């Protein structure tokens, strides 16, 4: 047993998860002091994500040696993202109206304390227009994108850099490629060292969260949390499972392949922590570097399936809890706006609540202060949200690779058997 624990990161994370819950319930003050362990682990991961994404995307584009193909892959990727995101948003609306999780709460808005949501509503003002979103894609300087850790901005720089490398003489681009490859290898070695700390990060994060919210918090707004988890499960198994089946792969074997990465997401409620490992594993599955390097980083901003479900479900939940009737026109407006606002979620602190605030602002009758209802359970919902986002992006990569004939099906079947 001890030998298995030493060898398996997955087992270590699960043990850390259980110990974290136990410490959180038994030693309240001590558990609260463990928050820096979780925050520190996430910070260590995030400091490497931007340069790793840059290296992988640049090398992927340069390796493809075909600008037209990269444009074709990018176009197919965006089309796929929009279709699947729309399905996720619609599913959230349907589930909210079928099960009515907010009906009967009869919340008096005057009793809600708006101080806790001031930060989120203030950030939401930055996303009130389409032009703001597109202007945000352009960093102030090349270095600013890396220091801020904005993946979408880094992606744009990497695409421009990679395409430009294809346009200069080989004797110049060849030297640059060699440098980036060496730098990339070192970064992945660094990431490997950091990932060994995952059990410590998960332990601190879970202990703090359990102590802060208490066991009773699992009951507060429990119906919404359970409903969201079940909805995500249905989406993954039926929607994503059906899509993956078209590529000839089994969703359950596919999820099992990423069990270590999902266990880390389970403990940290963040898919950022496993981005580099996910890209490596997808490449090992038989997908070309150029496809993985473009789809995964783009998906982290444009293909947030779990977040999309939560966005529409959360908006309608607030309306139901506050006894506000939404017309079909309101629902269509929410759906349309959600398609835009969901794209700006990644990289914003408290992104889920920030984007919810931005979406609520579109319908005057929906009170932004209703976000207070979701504050206490947002972390728990965030676990399923992050896991669904991650699985959705992995499935997207396989689908696009199969579409482009960049998938070695025999290798994928052999690894997933």
- What are the residue boundaries of the structural domains of the chain, listed by start? 2-416
Residue 172 has pLDDT above 80, yes or no: yes
Q: What is the mean pLDDT of residues 7-22?
A: 78
Mean residue pLDDT across the chain = 78
Q: What is the mean pLDDT of residues 200-207?
A: 81
- The per-residue pLDDT for 109 is 53
Q: Which of 6-15, 87-96, 351-360 has the highest mean pLDDT?
A: 87-96
Alpha carbon distances (Å) from 158 to 1, 151, 168, 287: 45, 10, 16, 20
Give pTM, 2 decimals: 0.70
- The per-residue pLDDT for 351 is 58
Label residue 3 exposed, middle or buried (CB < 10 Å: 0-12, 13-18, 19+): exposed
Residue 36 has pLDDT above 70, yes or no: yes
Confidence label for 215 from pLDDT (cuts 50, 70 and 90): low
Task: Please name which of 367, 357, 336, 315 lies closest in space to residue 130, comparing C-alpha atoms.
Answer: 336
- CA torsion angle 192 197 198 199 (round to 10): 140
Rg of the chain over Cα atoms, rounded to whole angstroms, equals: 21
Q: What is the CATH number of domain 2-416?
A: 1.10.3860.10
Residue 401 has pLDDT above 50, yes or no: yes
Task: Please give the backbone phi and psi of residue 287, each rounded to the nearest 5 degrees, phi first.
Answer: -105, 140
Residue 61 has pLDDT above 60, yes or no: yes
Residue 126 has pLDDT above 90, yes or no: no
The residue among 88 and 345 whose pLDDT is bigger is 88
- The per-residue pLDDT for 218 is 44
């Amino acid at each position: 047993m001890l030998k298995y624990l030493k060898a398996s990161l997955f087992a270590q994370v699960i043990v850390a998860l259980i110990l974290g819950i136990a410490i959180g319930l038994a030693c309240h003050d001590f558990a609260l002091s463990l928050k820096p362990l979780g925050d520190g682990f996430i910070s260590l991961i995030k400091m490497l994500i931007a340069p790793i994404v840059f290296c992988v995307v640049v090398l992927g584009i340069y390796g493809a040696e075909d600008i037209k193909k990269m444009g074709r892959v990018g176009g197919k990727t965006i089309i796929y993202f929009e279709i699947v995101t729309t399905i996720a948003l619609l599913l959230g609306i349907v589930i909210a109206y079928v099960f009515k999780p907010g009906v009967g709460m009869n919340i008096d808005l005057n009793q809600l304390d708006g101080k806790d949501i001031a930060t989120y509503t203030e950030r939401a003002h930055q996303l009130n227009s389409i032009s703001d979103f597109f202007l945000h894609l352009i960093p102030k300087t090349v270095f600013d994108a890396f220091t801020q850790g904005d993946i979408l901005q880094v992606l744009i720089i990497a695409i421009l850099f990679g395409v430009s490398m294809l346009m200069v003489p080989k004797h110049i681009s060849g030297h640059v490629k060699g440098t980036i490859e060496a730098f990339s290898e070192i970064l992945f070695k660094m990431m490997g060292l950091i990932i060994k700390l995952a059990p410590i990060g998960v332990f601190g994060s879970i202990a703090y969260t359990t102590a802060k919210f208490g066991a009773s918090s699992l009951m507060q707004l429990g119906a919404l949390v359970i409903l969201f988890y079940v909805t995500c499960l249905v989406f993954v198994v039926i929607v994503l499972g059906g899509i993956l089946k078209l590529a000839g792969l089994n969703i359950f074997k596919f999820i099992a392949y990423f069990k270590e990465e999902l266990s880390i997401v389970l403990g940290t409620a963040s898919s950022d922590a496993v981005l580099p490992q996910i890209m490596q594993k997808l490449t090992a599955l038989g997908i070309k570097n150029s496809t993985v390097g473009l789809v995964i980083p783009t998906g982290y901003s444009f293909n947030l399936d779990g977040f999309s479900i939560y966005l529409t479900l959360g908006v309608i939940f607030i309306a139901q809890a506050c006894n506000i009737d939404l017309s079909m026109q309101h629902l269509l407006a929410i759906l349309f706006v959600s398609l835009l606002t969901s794209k700006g979620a990644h990289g914003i602190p408290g992104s889920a609540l920030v984007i919810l605030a931005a979406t609520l602002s579109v319908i005057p009758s929906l009170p932004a202060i209703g976000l207070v209802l979701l504050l206490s359970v947002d972390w728990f919902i965030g676990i399923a949200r992050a896991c669904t986002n991650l699985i959705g992006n992995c499935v997207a990569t396989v689908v696009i690779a199969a579409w482009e004939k960049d998938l070695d099906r025999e290798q994928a079947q052999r690894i997933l058997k």
